[in-house]
Homo-oligomer: A and B are copies of this chain.
Amino acid sequence: MGLGRRGGRRRRRHYLVAEDGENHIGLAMAADLTRGVAAGRPWLLLEHSTSAVNWQERNIAKRPGEMARNSLAHFARGADAIMFFQWRASRFGQEKFHSAMVPHGGTDTRVWREVVDLGTTLRALSEVRGSRVAADVAVVWDWESWWALELDWRPSADVRYVDQVKRWYEQLWRSHLTADFVPPEAELEQYRLVIVPSLYLTTEAAAKNLRGYVEAGGTLVVSFFSGIVDENDVIVPGALPGALRDLLGITIEEFLPLRAGEQVTVLDTADGLEAPWAGTIWTDDIRLRDAEAFASYADGPAAGKPAITRNRVGAGTAWYVSTALDGAALKALLARIGVVQPAIAGLPEKVEVVRRVGTEAEYVTVINHGDDGVTLPLAGVELVAGAQVSELVVPGGQVRVVRRQRRGGR
């Protein structure tokens, strides 16, 4: 079951947030979400840009190699076709400063040469078409919950759904873990870790599905303002968080949102955190029922109360994170939960690795967003250059794709 209607849409347009210095992470998230809408099947990138667009405040141009990295990141995450808006830059009208395959300067230009090179590369990768992305983690994404959460009159206007999802996604990306976006009622048994960011609206079916996943041995991580209302935006009866109260083994006496810019300190309870962690936006007044406190608040309105809890249910564990941890803390928490590891250890943060699995072979795309070259223990046929390799060298800014023996299902 996909994130959209049955079968989902299998095409999208994508344009970078030009001023975001790490907009390749947003691109990856958009591509993974598109694949989620397509229920995991390959999809088509109908439009993106060779360089700058014309409709943002500051239309930052792509730098050399960036268009290829963008294009092949979409490819790595399931796109079977990479198309551009537009063929030739128009001389007039509101899109005359939108980049094109053929710029105003014609074919004696960097952009045109990189477009031609990309065509060559895509031809060399044509056998990858139809293969499926292999993910490490599922992130629950729910459109109805998004719409309901962002209605007026919630406890804090600082809680926005996509922000909260992206916080988790970004740290998965930095941890070299590939995520599938799935609806809350999806079959989850194939995933060792499922993350549920701020699932404000939780249907009974969803709650039951998540519980079944944990009972069967899964690891579930739920963040704050989840399980609050049903599909009619009605508070689930009894102590909060009604729909997930038993699964998480806690009750929330009261939401304790934070002031603008306020930061709270999260400290070790039992396990010993390396250092204090920082949270913003939200805290809760939590009472433990069946759960134990993994970390507590050292200050703020919930000082002395649990901040992060975990609850053993059947063969699995359900975690609850009651504040918006900063990036470093979220990445550290993912490492502490520890049930998934990247396929290749010791990767620099800026090296993106994604695997597509075909019927007979699998294809590992490596995108080096850093300036320095990197060598990976990947043997096989490198398709971009067309060479057999016993280990893979990826220069700074470049992309490589290795075909190797299929090693396991999706």
Query: A residues engaging B (CB < 8 A)?
Result: 19, 51-52, 54-55, 57-61, 63, 89, 91-92, 94-97, 99, 103-106, 108-111, 152-158, 232-235, 237-240, 251-260, 285, 301
Contact = CB atoms under 8 A, between A and B. Distances in A.
A46 B185 CA distance: 46
Contacts of A111: 253-254
A91 B19 contact: no
Given A54-B153, A153-B54, A154-B97, A105 B232 contact: no
Contact of A91 (B106, B235, B254, B259): B235
Most central of A97, A238, A258 by chain B CB within 10 Å: A97
Contacts of A54: 153-155
A91 B155 contact: no
A234 B92 contact: yes
A57 B256 contact: no
A163 to B, nearest CB: 15
Given A58-B156, A155-B52, A63 B301 contact: yes
Given A19-B260, A52-B155, A301-B63, A109 B235 contact: no
Contacts of A255: 52, 61, 97
A157 B239 contact: no
Given A110-B253, A235-B96, A240 B105 contact: yes
A109 B92 CA distance: 60
A322 to B, nearest CB: 14
B95 A234 contact: no
**A57, A104, A253: residue with the most chain B Cβ atoms closer than 10 Å:** A104
B235 A59 contact: no
A21 to B, nearest CB: 8
Given A55-B153, A110-B253, A234-B91, A301 B105 contact: no
Nearest to A159: B58
The 5 A-B pairs at the shortest CB distance, nearest first, are namely A105-B239, A91-B235, A92-B234, A54-B153, A94-B153
B254 A51 contact: yes
A105 B251 CA distance: 8
Given A54-B155, A57-B157, A260-B58, A92 B240 contact: no
Chain B CB within 10 Å — which of A232, A238, A255 has the most? A255
A59 B155 contact: yes
Given A52-B255, A55-B153, A106-B238, 20 more contacts: A52-B155, A54-B154, A57-B156, A58-B157, A58-B258, A59-B156, A60-B257, A60-B259, A61-B254, A61-B255, A61-B257, A61-B285, A63-B301, A92-B234, A92-B235, A94-B152, A95-B153, A96-B153, A96-B235, A105-B251
A232 B91 CA distance: 11
A18 to B, nearest CB: 8
B59 A105 contact: no
A275 to B, nearest CB: 27
A260 B95 CA distance: 22
20 contacts: A19-B259, A19-B260, A52-B255, A52-B257, A54-B153, A54-B154, A55-B153, A59-B257, A60-B257, A61-B301, A91-B235, A92-B234, A94-B153, A95-B153, A97-B153, A103-B254, A105-B252, A110-B253, A110-B254, A110-B285
A361 to B, nearest CB: 39
A103 B155 CA distance: 14
Nearest to A283: B61
Contacts of A158: 57-58
A306 to B, nearest CB: 15
